Amino acid sequence: MKVIEIEGAKELNGTIRISGAKNATVALIPAAILTDEEATICNVPEITDTDALCDILKQLNVNVNRSTESLVINPKDMKNIEIEEKYSKKLRASYYFMGALLGKYKKAVMYFPGGCSIGARPIDLHLKGFEALGAKVTNEGNRYTVEAEELHGANIYLDIASVGATINIMLAAVKANGKTVIDNAAKEPEIVNVATFLNMMGAKITGAGTSTIKIEGVEHLHKCFHEVIPDRIEAGTYIIIAALCGHNLKIDNVIPEHIDSLLSKLEEMGIEMEVGADYVIVFDGKKELHPTNIKTAVYPGFPTDLQQPFTVLLTKAKGRSKVEETIWENRFMHIAYLNKLGANITVKNRTATIDGPSELKGTEVVATDLRAGAAMVAAGLVAEGKTTIADAEHILRGYEQIVEKLKAVGAKITIKEI
Ligand code: UD1
């Protein structure tokens, strides 16, 4: 098990550079197999989710070359074999291989994906989408077979604007015969990044970033070069950390409009910032903060993935704040640990009520999932004394070099294997 130790209450100062977006990367890697030629993806973050997907590529006999920040994927000798459970369970996004393999070979066999325990996480909308395109879905326990004689375009309305279902249906539809329309599609920037990648390979996708995506099927996809967008969730996490304990801390390589909802909440709380074209500087994280309420929502609403780190900031606001989680029913696992650190938070149904301000004091906590882990890091950095975070592997799934980046701006943080 990996453990992160933080000696907290140190002022952070300097620049943190944001890496490529995890949630785009995890879809771009499976998407790359849709061509038989070489795809080069740069700004790929070094996180364990990237490693897990590259392991799946290697199982499928795809040639993968990793150099600093870029990934060259060549599927010319690829074999469409079953993706074993030991690979699929490592991360939720392994499900993108279902859409990509179906799109390429009209057949995918894999086990139900794993990922953070933050809610039920069904994939019914993905499967319904595949069926609408002409595929037959069968399962024996956790083993799913998705197969089609021919994939044809279809009109698909998503009951929920699901990120995963939107991307997976796009992957399955790019080479289908005819036109597919996805209505009530999710609008997250990562979806636009994936659609751009597919279009650079020769796909015909329009409307990504709106709630109607149109895909005109093509026969052939060719080689391409593509760049992953900056990670808005990583950026948001460090901006929250800056608001907690930064002094002139610059978060660089950011697309500010991707985090508008966070920035406006921070302004409401009284955080002073400079928002540039591709950076955010938080001047002083030590001011008295105003309480506020957030409700998580699909993009461009307040991202559920920032709810947990943001709750740490709310413990520093004077008065009562509320956090309503509308996407995942089990995303309050961090609250018990924040209370152990000294916060005053109660949870009822899907709403957390935070009474602040609270002085946090270091203690032993657990990273129960990726973003809960990020919340523990944020809390440990602002708490007096030593915080020990167990199960830190979860954090490394989505934050590139988190320990090194924080050390470089003055944090006393280490990671070790016990
Ligand atoms: C993605 C992100 C995750 C983020 C989430 C919501 C990736 C790899 N992960 O997850 O970080 O928290 O978006 O912004 O990009 N649902 C169904 N049936 C389905 C699919 C989804 O009921 O077939 C429900 C889910 O249970 C959830 C909601 O729809 O309540 C949104 O899920 P979705 O947008 O699909 O999340 P993911 O793509 O898994």
Q: Ligand 1 center to residue 100 CA distance, Å?
A: 18
Of 227, 242, 270, which residue is a domain's last?
227
266-271, Cβ contacts within 8 angstroms, sequence gap of 24 or more: 266/239, 266/240, 268/292, 269/243, 269/313, 269/317, 271/243
Q: Ligand 1 center to residue 245 CA distance, Å?
A: 31
Q: How far is CA 311 from the centre of its chain?
A: 18
The reply to whether 383 and 309 lie within a common domain is yes
| Whole-number Å distance between alpha carbons of 374 and 310 | 10
| Whole-number Å distance between alpha carbons of 329 and 192 | 27
Q: 225: which residues sit within 8 A by CB, 6+ positions away?
A: 39, 40, 42, 200
Give the residues across from 416 on adjacent strands.
3
Nearest CA to ligand 1 atom 8: 23
User: How much is the pLDDT for 117?
Assistant: 67
The reply to whether 152 and 293 lie within a common domain is no
The residue segments making up the domain with residue 368 are: 2-19+230-417
The reply to whether 239 and 220 lie within a common domain is no
Number of compact structural domains in the chain = 2
The reply to whether 195 and 253 lie within a common domain is no
262 contacts 301 by C-beta, under 8 angstroms = no
Question: For residue 121, which atom of ligand 1 is closest to its CA?
Answer: 26
Q: For the CA atoms of the chain, what is the radius of gyration?
A: 21
The reply to whether 83 and 41 lie within a common domain is yes
Q: What is the CATH number of the domain that holds 333?
A: 3.65.10.10
Question: For residue 120, which atom of ligand 1 is closest to its CA?
Answer: 26
Count of residues making up the chain: 418
Angle at which helix 304-314 crosses helix 333-340, to 10 degrees, equals 20
The reply to whether 125 and 268 lie within a common domain is no
| Whole-number Å distance between alpha carbons of 369 and 397 | 10
Q: Which helix (H) or strand (E) holds 336?
A: helix 333-340
| Whole-number Å distance between alpha carbons of 376 and 93 | 24
The reply to whether 39 and 93 lie within a common domain is yes
Which tokens in the block code for residue 56? Answer: 């799946």
In three-state secondary structure terms, 85 is: helix
Q: Ligand 1 center to residue 14 CA distance, Å?
A: 34
The reply to whether 11 and 71 lie within a common domain is no
Nearest CA to ligand 1 atom 15: 23
Q: Ligand 1 center to residue 119 CA distance, Å?
A: 10
Q: Ligand 1 center to residue 319 CA distance, Å?
A: 32
| Whole-number Å distance between alpha carbons of 415 and 406 | 12
Question: For residue 125, which atom of ligand 1 is closest to its CA?
Answer: 23
Q: How far is CA 29 from the centre of its chain?
A: 14
Q: Ligand 1 center to residue 161 CA distance, Å?
A: 8
Q: 348: which residues sit within 8 A by CB, 6+ positions away?
A: none
The reply to whether 74 and 186 lie within a common domain is yes
The reply to whether 136 and 281 lie within a common domain is no
Which tokens in the block code for residue 229? Answer: 């967008």
The reply to whether 125 and 244 lie within a common domain is no
| Sign for the pseudo-dihedral over CA of 108, 110, 113, 114 | negative
The reply to whether 265 and 149 lie within a common domain is no
Nearest CA to ligand 1 atom 22: 122
Q: Which helix (H) or strand (E) holds 48?
A: helix 48-59
Ligand 1 — pocket residues by CB below 6 A?
A: 23, 26, 92-93, 119-126, 160, 162-165, 186, 304-305, 327-328
Which tokens in the block code for residue 40? Answer: 């080069």
Residues noted as catalytic: 116
Of 227, 253, 284, which residue is a domain's last?
227
Q: Which helix (H) or strand (E) holds 274?
A: strand 273-275
Mutate to test the pocket of ligand 1, among 160, 184, 324 (most ligand atoms within 8 A of CB): 160
Question: For residue 190, which atom of ligand 1 is closest to its CA?
Answer: 15
Strands 246-252 and 12-17 come out as parallel
Which tokens in the block code for residue 131? Answer: 């069926």
* Cα–Cα–Cα angle for 376, 377, 378, rounded to 5 degrees: 90
Nearest CA to ligand 1 atom 5: 163
Mutate to test the pocket of ligand 1, among 163, 261, 304 (most ligand atoms within 8 A of CB): 163
Of 173, 199, 227, which residue is a domain's last?
227
In three-state secondary structure terms, 258 is: helix
Q: 209: which residues sit within 8 A by CB, 6+ positions away?
A: 187, 189, 191, 192, 195
What is the chain's pLDDT, residue by residue, as a tens digit (418 residues)? 999 999 999 999 999 999 999 999 999 999 999 999 999 999 999 999 999 999 999 999 999 999 887 999 999 999 999 999 999 888 889 999 999 999 999 999 999 877 666 666 789 999 999 999 999 999 998 899 999 999 999 999 999 999 999 999 999 999 999 999 999 999 999 999 999 999 999 999 999 999 999 999 999 999 999 999 999 999 999 999 999 999 999 999 999 999 999 999 999 999 999 999 999 999 987 678 999 999 999 999 999 999 999 999 999 999 999 999 999 988 999 999 999 999 999 999 999 999 999 999 999 999 999 999 999 999 999 999 999 999 999 999 999 999 999 999 999 999 999 9
Nearest CA to ligand 1 atom 37: 164
Nearest CA to ligand 1 atom 33: 162
Q: How far is CA 263 from the centre of its chain?
A: 19
| Whole-number Å distance between alpha carbons of 311 and 344 | 11
